[in-house]
């Protein structure tokens, strides 16, 4: 059995740059084997949440929005930041309603992942929202421009395999949903 790698001690904390939704800094760490110093970038961001919303007619409530990193519109599930002190399930239900105007009848936790543990310490929590009903047109945050689309739930594998859904955290949410369904059998 191999020995686990030792923790890298942080020698110095770098200057932090605050970009409102995230903070970036470069800390210096020591390699526990050689004691050589290495700078490592750290992105400090709040917890995130995603929610797979399903209507009583087995339609998915998806959103399409512009993503600056790839400079394209993407097809995704609703989601966003978890406010400080907010329960992730409540945040997911809030994001669903704000972005789409749909309200969940029931919210089921699917699991959580570290989005990128090489650079970030936060988690992304995924949920399944059942019996979602449209209550209003939604109240998007400033700087959001979201289009709501309904898709048959059975289309998810095709949408992912054909590259229509490419956001990794959305794909993870659907994978977690499938794992939960398979383990319940």
Residues 176 and 148 placed together within one structural domain of the fold: yes
Task: For residue 39, give its domain range.
Answer: 10-44
Residues 25 and 55 placed together within one structural domain of the fold: no
Provide the residue-wise pLDDT of the chain in tens; the chain has 185 residues. Answer: 678 899 999 999 999 999 988 999 999 999 999 999 999 999 999 999 999 999 999 999 999 999 999 999 999 999 999 999 999 999 999 999 999 999 999 999 999 999 999 999 999 999 999 999 999 998 887 888 999 999 999 999 999 999 999 999 999 999 999 999 999 88
Report phi then psi at 91, rounded to 5. Answer: -65, -40
List the one residue out of 16, 47, 41 whose CA is nearest residue 28.
Answer: 41
- In this prediction the pTM is 0.92
**Is 164 part of any domain?**
yes
Asked if residues 40 and 31 have their Cβ atoms less than 8 Å apart, the reply is no
Q: How many domains, in total, are found in the chain? A: 2
**Is 1 part of any domain?**
no
**Is 171 part of any domain?**
yes
Residues 18 and 81 placed together within one structural domain of the fold: no
For 184, the 3-state DSSP assignment is helix
The rounded distance, in Å, linking the Cα atoms of 148 and 98 is 11
Residue 89: give its domain's CATH number.
3.90.79.10
**Is 138 part of any domain?**
yes
Residues 91 and 136 placed together within one structural domain of the fold: yes
**Is 4 part of any domain?**
no
- Our CA angle for 60, 137, 169, nearest 5°, is 40
Residue 25 Cα distances to 22, 33, 107, 153, angstroms: 10, 24, 36, 41
């Amino acid at each position: 059995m191999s020995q686990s790698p030792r923790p890298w001690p942080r020698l110095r904390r770098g200057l932090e740059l605050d970009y409102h939704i995230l903070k970036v800094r470069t800390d210096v760490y020591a390699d526990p084997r050689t004691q050589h110093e290495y700078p490592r970038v750290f992105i400090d961001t709040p917890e995130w949440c995603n929610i797979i919303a399903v209507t009583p007619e087995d339609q998915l409530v998806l959103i399409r929005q512009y993503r600056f990193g790839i400079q394209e519109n993407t097809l995704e599930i609703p989601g966003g930041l978890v406010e400080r002190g907010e329960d992730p399930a409540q945040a997911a239900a809030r994001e669903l309603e704000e972005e789409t105007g749909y309200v969940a009848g029931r919210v089921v936790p699917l699991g959580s992942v570290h989005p990128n543990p090489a650079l970030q310490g936060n988690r992304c929590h995924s949920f399944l929202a059942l019996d979602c009903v449209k209550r209003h047109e939604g109240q998007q945050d400033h700087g959001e421009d979201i289009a709501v689309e309904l898709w048959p739930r059975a289309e998810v594998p095709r949408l992912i395999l054909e590259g229509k859904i490419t956001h990794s955290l959305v794909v993870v949410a659907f994978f977690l949903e499938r794992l939960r369904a398979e383990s319940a059998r």
